[in-house]
Amino acid sequence: MSERLEPGDTAPAFTLPDADGNEVSLAARKGRKVIVYFYPAALTPGCTKQACDFTDNLELLAGAGYDVIGISPDKPEKLARFREQESLKVTLLADPDKQVLQAYGAFGEKTMYGKKVVGVIRSTVVVDEEGKVERALYNVRATGHVAKIIKDLGI
């Protein structure tokens, strides 16, 4: 079971491939605020809803100084299909080894349909310009989550 992050923690560094196989790192975003969200699987209903919500609100979030990065255990090829099929504009990163998911506390035991399973915990971590955790939200819902973040951040 991975440790959950708390506000004030240093956000774990990462460099992962995007949907095109290009390396993307959190360090390259220093000086910007970053919303890093973790989702179980591309091309599934809940994850599609969430990615589309982030895409629909990307201009608003970017205007407020936020970059948005979605991370799942999918391979880059599947992320590319997801991006094309849903016309997504958010940066999608592949973490098939689940190392970043674990570092952020977004992989572990969860309850699904009344059963305990081990998997990706739908989570969102807001990282400030200095690389510190501003907010860490776990077991979030796919629907309505982006609107809640926007409201909570006062955007």
Known catalytic residues are 47
Q: Which residue, among 101, 88, 106, 105, has the nearest Cα to 19 in the 3D structure? A: 88
Which residue's structure tokens are 């915990």?
A: 121
**CA neighbours closer than 13 Å in the CB half-sphere of residue 10:** 5
Q: What is the pairing mode between strands 115-120 and 23-25? A: unpaired
Partners of 126 in the β-ladder: 35, 135
Helix H or strand E encompassing 99: helix 99-103
CB atoms within 10 A of CB 118: 10
Q: Rounded distance, CA 92 to CA 108, Å?
A: 21
